[in-house]
Structure 1
Amino acid sequence: MTSARQLSVAYFDGLTARAQPVLMWVEPGMLQLSGAGLIRQVPLNKVQWSERTRHGARMAHFADGGTIQAVNPADWDSWLDHHDLGAPLSVRAHQSWRWTMLATTVLLMVAVMGYWWGLPLAARLLAPLVPQTVSQQIGKATLQTMDEQWLKPSQLPFQEQAHWRALLSKAIAQGLEGTEIDTGTRAASRQPAIQLQFRQAHIGPNAFALPDGNIVITDDLIALLHDREDVLIGVVGHETGHITGRHGLRGLIQAGLLGAIGSLTFGDFSTVLASAPILMGQLAYSRDLEREADDAAITFMHRNHIRPSVMGVFFQRVKDASPRRGQATAPQADDASQPIGIAFSSHPADAERLAHFQSADLDGGLQEQPTPP
C-alpha cells in the first residue's frame, strides 16, 4: 500500500487475461484508477465489491466487464474499511459465529412459537372458511377407512341401539338448544348435523367425533356405562364439543399446514391432502382442544340437568378397565389394538380435568345422581 488513500491493485480490462498494475483511490463519489497508459474514473455506486470471505479473492467488478483484484488481501480490507466501503452488516453478521448462533436461536424460537401458537391460530381462523361439503367428504372417507381397517359392525341388538340412539339424540337436542346449530342461523349452516354410529372395536370403551358430525360409540363404552346414562350423556357432550368446535378439521388443517411447510421445504405436495383420512384416524387432540371440549361438555350437561362431577365415574371405570396402562392414555404408536387417536381418552384423566368437572356443579336445577358403584 503506497499511502493511506492509495492502494496497489491488479486491473483486468475484461478483454484480455493480462493484469495491469494500477493505483486505486477515492475522490468524492468516484473511484480513481491510474497506471501505465490508464486513467479511469468509475462512480462508486456502479462498483460491485465482492463479498469478503476468509480465504477468497478480493475483487471488484465494473459494468463493462473490467475487474480489479487485490494484490494484498489484508491491505485491501483495510483500505475498504478506511473508506467505509467494507462489507454490509448482513455480510459481516453471517461471517460472525456469534451472529450466526443468535440468528439460529431466533429462528428456532420463531419456529417453536409458530408451531405452538401460530398453527393453532391459523387453524382456528381457517376452519370456519372451509365449506361443510369438505368436512362431509373428509368424515365420510375417514369412517370408511376406519370401517375397513379398525372397526366392525356393532354387536348390540337393534332394539338396544335404537334405545341409546333415541336417548342420546334427545340429550343432544337439549344440550344444543339455543345454540347456532339449533337456531338455524347462517352460521349454523356451516355446522354439521350430529349423527350417532355404533361400532365394535378393539380400542376399548371409547367414543370419537368426525368432522362430518358423526359420533362413533364403541360397544365397550355402552357396556361400561350401561347403568349410567348420565355419564354416557357427558361423554357424548364432550364429543359434541369437538364437532361444534370443528376440532377435527382444525387439527387436520394444522397437520396440513405443517405438511405444506414441509412440502415447500422439501418439494413434495403429492401426499398432503391424499392422506387426510389416515391423518384423521391417528390425530390426537391437543390439550387446549380437550379443554374446550370439556367446557362444552359441562354446558351440555347443565342443559340436560346433570352434574358434571359424575364424569369422575367415567374416568375411574376406564382406569379400572385398563389395568395394563393404569389409566386412560393416548394410544401408543406400536399398539395395533389402539390405532385411533381422536378419542375421548386421548389424554390422561388427570386431576386437573377431574377438578374442572367437579367444580362445575351447580347448586340448583340439577338431577341428584346415584352414588357411583
Structure 2
Amino acid sequence: MKYFLRLPKNKSSHSNAVVFLCIFLFFQADLKVTVWPYIHWVIAFVGLLLLICIRNTAFKIDRRDLFVLMLIPLAMAINFLIVPSIENVIQTYKVAIIFISIYIISNFLSIVNFKSILTASLVLNSLFLLFGILGLSWAARILTGDGRWGTLFNYPGSLYKVGLFMIVFGIYGMIKSKNKIGYSLTTVLCLFVMYMDGSRTAFILLGVALVYIIFIMIIEYLSKGGTFATLRLLVVFMTISISSIFAVNYKPIQESRIYKTILEVLSGEGGLAKADNIRYDMLTRVQEEITQHPIVGIGMGNTSTIVNGESITIHNAYLQIWSDAGILAVLALLLLMTYGVFQSRLYIRAAMQTKSVFHGAQAYNLSFLLIIMPITNLFHPFSTEWSDWSAYLLAIACTRVLGGSEDAHEDV
C-alpha cells in the first residue's frame, strides 16, 4: 500500500479554532506557573466540551493506538493495588485522562493545522525573547544563575522544545525548496530559541536532528538518485562542518554549560560525576531503589534526590517510572516509545511519495517528533503534564490521515 498525505477538510471553523487554541496552549508548558497550576486541565475540559457540542465528524479510533496508550495507566493501576497511595491514584488518573483526551482532540486536527500551531508557538516565544532582550522582563528574562532564558509561556527546560519541534521542517525545506526565505527564517528562529534556553538536552537533540536530516537525504538519494541530490547532500555536510567550526570558537558558546559539560565528559577526568554531579547522584539513587525493588515500584513521586535541601525528581523517565511504578510500567513506556518509532515510518513513506516539499517537510517533521521522544526521556522525568505529551501523542494520532490517493500539490 502507498502512503500519501491526505488532508481532511474540517467544515467547521469553530472546531478548528477550538482545537488550535487548546493545542497551542498545551504547548505553553509554564502557563501552569505564570498563570494557574490547573490551567491546562481547565482548557482541556472546556475544549472537549465545545468540540462535543459542535462535533461535525465521526470519531476515528485505532484500536492499536488505544491499546498501547492505555498500557501505562493500566500498569500504574496494577502497582497501586500492591502499593496503595493517594498519589498513585492521582497520577494514574492524570495519565489516563491526558492520553484519552488528546487522542479525542486529534480527531479534529489535520497535519496542516498541526504545523500552523507549532509555527505560532515558535513565533510567539521568539518575539517574547526579543522583547526580553529589549528590556521587557514580563515577556522574557534570564531565570537561572547560568544565564538560561525563559518566556512568559515557557521556562528553561521547556522553551527549547518550541524550537526543536520545528527544526526538521525548517532545515529540510531550506535544502529542498525553491522558496528558501520562509524555511530559513523558521530554522533561524528554532536555533535562536534553543540557544536562549541553554539546555544541554536541546543541543544533544539538535545533533540528532542533523543526523536525521542527513539520513533522509541519503534515502531520498538512494530512491531517486541523481547528481543534484548528491550535491545537496554535500552542501548539508559542508554547512554543518563549517557552522560547527565557527560555533566552537564563539566565546559565548565556549562559556556555556553545554560546551563545558561536553569537554569535561570527553576529558575522562571524573566523567559524569564531575561534569554533572546532580545528575550523577540522581542515577545512583534510582539504581539503588531499582536494585532493592526490581518488580514492584515504591509509589509515584517517591524516587528523588536531595539537592541544596530540596527534593528533585530523577531525570530519566525510564528509570524513574521503573522505581516508582514497577517493571510493568517501564515495559509499557518502552512499548509506547517503540510504537511511536514504528509509526514514524508512515510519515517517511508519505514524505518520499509526495511531490510537495511543504507536505514532505511536515511529514518528516512529524516523524522526527516520534523519534526524539524516546531520547528525551533519557534526560527528563516521567511527566503527567499536558505539555510534555501533546506533540508525541498527536503525532501518533495523525497517522490516521495517511492513506488514499495523493492530490496534486505545488511546491511552496
TM range (shorter): under 0.3
Structure 1 or 2: larger strand share?
A: 1
Q: Greater Rg, structure 1 or structure 2?
A: 1
User: What's the TM-score, normalizing by structure 1?
Assistant: 0.27
Higher RCO structure (Cα 8 Å, ≥6 apart): 2
